[in-house]
A and B are shown apart, each in its own frame.
Chain A
């Protein structure tokens, strides 16, 4: 096993473990922390694929901004273990069975395909900022501009929704 291989399996194990904890943790704040850990392992996987830009953007956007917002809202609403609503055990059981069956079906479908090749990075420079910028601002210019409009409308929407109505 090479170093990259063992790193991949280690990160994959941590990712699965911590995402399980996200779903099972009783305390919402602990869920957030495990989710941040999951994002870090995924960043590790991106870096193993030499997608440096995506890796660092994952940290800046998800770990640095989105999860802080989650923490902020959880703290603002003062949620804790006592106020945590629980589903009945039957509902939980049905949920797990449903999800598990889906996973089994997908894995079985994957098994029936031919054994795949290993991931050989075709163009090593592809994930670097320069290259992605070229693609983003040439081929995907219109979607990029539309995303900026989406952001503007999301911002207006969020402010409008969260504002206290003055009567």
Chain B
């Protein structure tokens, strides 16, 4: 069971680009419309995943493994980012008793 799919998927590359840009912009809309810091964070993960899909599709299209290695790196960086980000969110909750990002304008003063 080396190869699950046959060599030709017959899906135009444009459709991959369209799919990942739709998911990417859903992520952007999530960042813009939500106030819960964790949901904003999850929308960012959604955007990263859209990019991952696109990189994998390009890498299969061009026959170049570098794209998939980059996806691997993006996942590694995302994992590190989540660890630090969630620690920051827990800290914010401890100080403000809320994770509403609109309350985080105290840095202004």
Contacts and interface: CB of A to CB of B under 8 A. Distances in A.
A155 B80 CA distance: 8
Contacts, number: 266
Contacts of A151: 76, 79-80
B65 to A, nearest CB: 4
Contacts of B18: 107, 110
A95 B13 contact: no
Interface string B44-73: 011001001100110111110110110111
Interface residues of A, number: 91
Q: Interface size for chain B: under 10, 10 to 19, 20 to 34, or 35 or more residues?
A: 35 or more
A3 to B, nearest CB: 9
A102 B100 CA distance: 26
A20 B57 contact: no
Interface of A: 2, 4-5, 8, 12, 15-16, 19-20, 22-23, 28, 31-32, 35, 38-39, 42, 45-54, 57-58, 61-62, 65-66, 69-70, 73-74, 76-77, 79, 83-87, 91-92, 94-96, 98-100, 102-103, 106-107, 110, 113, 115-128, 131-132, 135-136, 139-140, 143, 147, 150-151, 154-155, 157-159, 161-162
10 contacts: A54-B68, A66-B78, A70-B41, A77-B90, A120-B61, A121-B60, A126-B63, A140-B66, A151-B76, A151-B79
Interface of B: 2-19, 21-23, 25-30, 32-36, 38-39, 41-43, 45-46, 49, 52-53, 56-57, 59-63, 65-66, 68-69, 71-73, 75-84, 86-91, 93, 98-100, 102
